[in-house]
Amino acid sequence: MDPARFVRVDATTWRVEPSGAMRVPVVIYADENLIRDMDDKVYEQAVNVATLPGIVQASYAMPDAHWGYGFPIGGVAAFDPDRGGVVSAGGVGFDISCGVRAMLTGLSVGDILPLQKSLADSLFQQIPAGLGSKGTITMEPAEMDAMLAGGARWAIEQGWGELRDLERIEEQGCMAGARPDFVSDRAKERQRMEMGTLGSGNHYLEIQAVAEIYDAAVADVFGLAQDRVVISIHCGSRGLGHQIGTEFLKEMLVTAKEAGIELPDRELACAPINSEVGQRYLGAMRAAINCALANREILCHYARRVFGHFFPGSDLPLLFDVSHNTCKLESHLVGRRRRDLFVHRKGATRAFGPGHKSLPEALRPVGQPVLIGGSMGTGSYVLVGEASSEAKSLSSACHGAGRAMSRHAALKQWAGRRVVDDLAAKGILIRSPSTRGVAEEAPGAYKDVDAVVAAAEQAGLARRVARLRPLICVKG
């Protein structure tokens, strides 16, 4: 994008002042290089979001923003139900509650390297991955509804997880207000054999080493230390979430028209929050959040089982689990008073600062862990939420590196087998059922994650705590 299209506020803040149908400004957090590398669709989509009824404060975009469906990926927007605010399926995304879970192993790189190949092979065998991957769990109707209502707590009750995990999961592992009865039979059928699976695309289970510490005090609270090994799991609500998004987008097109909402783009289909369709979507979306939380809990259990085989007696506590495709009712200070708002985060992560009441006691003094996945073969990051992020971005931060090119373009430039071999030469073992998928996710297809997190820190959204480097990646 051309930086001249914006008013530059400071080194990492760019604004588009309201004009035409816009109700609020657009605010993008990025340095100049990241702005130049963003596609023009980010500008267009962020401006379109700013026209929606009931939007509060601004239409935001994070440093990793790129073209999405309706909303840009990396888009954040909050809506006030008392002022005609809307909920948009495109503002949540198709992979509802896609997120990252990080686990501590207490092991060092030296413990892993002698067993690296065997560990990679075992994880690949035990963790179903790939397009349409099926697991060993088959969900009958009553179990499906219990899972959609119970989230990670349900998984733990079934023996796939540990009770101590709940305090380290967003929403304590169970999203209130879920309505399994608002989820279609088709969506439930798609999920029937997909619990405990990674899926495809940019989803992964990665074994990582702490490569650099930026904030020793916070790292100590988080349990991170130089050369210690971390497990990261990135996945979401699989076919169920995609089906919910697809179905409600069609309904919302009709509802928006009936409500007299002028849409600058059909992909911004939405419904008034207080409408019947809006309430049904929220109930179904919350059920999908619980599906994703349960899915990551099961995958966490599988990873613990594999590590228990190679490292008997190993203890793998949870650092944190946070989603980045949601719409949540949150209280935020807007101007001089608190308002209950429905905050859409699409490819953006909640980043509560120190003292937030939702955080577990052990983390509350320092703030929420913000888990940033890099591209396959590059570094990932652990950040911590800043107090300043509420005023700047409704307590939101980036969620990853963000794509720099389409999957189609990546396929033209890279061959999957070559990517695997090149990364192996660097000591990074890739295991995937699809060489095509590996090519689509080649490291060069993504933005520079170092630049993205540096911009997020400079903007006051979240602060760097540690950088992680990959050792093993099971890729969907």
Query: What is the rounded distance in angstroms from the CA atom of residue 299 to the CA atom of residue 365?
Result: 29
Count of helix runs (H) and strand runs (E) in the chain? 14, 19
Q: In this predicted structure, what is the pLDDT of residue 249?
A: 97
Nearest Cα neighbor of 195 from 288, 72, 92 is: 288
Stretch 21-37: mean pLDDT, rounded? 97
How many CB atoms are closer than 10 A to CB 58? 24
Tell me how many degrees the CA angle 303-442-243 measures, rounded to the nearest 5: 65
* Parent domain of 324: 3-475
In this predicted structure, the answer to whether residue 132 has a pLDDT above a threshold of 80 is: no
In this predicted structure, the answer to whether residue 450 has a pLDDT above a threshold of 80 is: yes
The CA–CA distances, whole Å, from 216 to 225, 230, 369 equal 8, 17, 14
User: Residue 29: which region, alpha, beta or left (left: phi > 0; alpha: psi -120 to 50)?
Assistant: beta
Query: Could you tell me the pLDDT band of residue 252, with boundaries at 50, 70 and 90?
Result: very high
Stretch 347-357: mean pLDDT, rounded? 96
Q: In this predicted structure, what is the pLDDT of residue 411?
A: 86
Strand 380-385 and strand 462-475: pairing? antiparallel
Stretch 117-126: mean pLDDT, rounded? 97
Bridge partner list, 108? 228
Stretch 394-401: mean pLDDT, rounded? 94
Share of the chain above pLDDT 70, in %: 100
- Positive or negative: CA dihedral 424, 430, 436, 440: negative
* Lowest mean per-residue pLDDT among 130-144, 178-192, 261-275: 130-144
The CA–CA distances, whole Å, from 357 to 101, 171, 212, 352, 394 equal 21, 12, 29, 9, 16
pLDDT in tens, 218-236: 999 999 999 999 999 999 9
pLDDT in tens, 359-387: 999 999 999 999 999 878 889 999 999 99
Report which residue type is found at 199: G
Residue 130, helix vs strand vs coil: coil
Query: Residue 169 gets which letter from DSSP?
Result: B
**In angstroms, how far is CA 258 from the centroid of its own chain?**
32
CATH of the domain at 452: 3.90.1860.10
Domain count, the chain: 1
Q: Which two tokens stand for residue 426?
A: 């660097």
- Positive or negative: CA dihedral 441, 403, 462, 80: negative
Query: What is the rounded distance in angstroms from the CA atom of residue 266 to the CA atom of residue 256?
Result: 10
* Lowest mean per-residue pLDDT among 41-50, 65-74, 154-163, 428-437: 428-437
Stretch 77-102: mean pLDDT, rounded? 97
pTM of the model: 0.96
Q: What is the DSSP string of 192-246?
A: TTTTT---STT-EEEEEEEEEES-HHHHHHHT--TTEEEEEEEE--HHHHHHHHH
Q: In this predicted structure, what is the pLDDT of residue 246?
A: 97
Q: In this predicted structure, what is the pLDDT of residue 342?
A: 98
Query: Could you tell me the pLDDT band of residue 89, with boundaries at 50, 70 and 90?
Result: very high
Active site residues: 399
pLDDT in tens, 297-331: 999 999 999 999 999 999 999 999 999 999 999 99
Q: In this predicted structure, what is the pLDDT of residue 336?
A: 85
* Lowest mean per-residue pLDDT among 13-22, 73-82, 87-96, 196-205: 196-205
Report which residue type is found at 189: E
Q: In this predicted structure, what is the pLDDT of residue 335?
A: 84
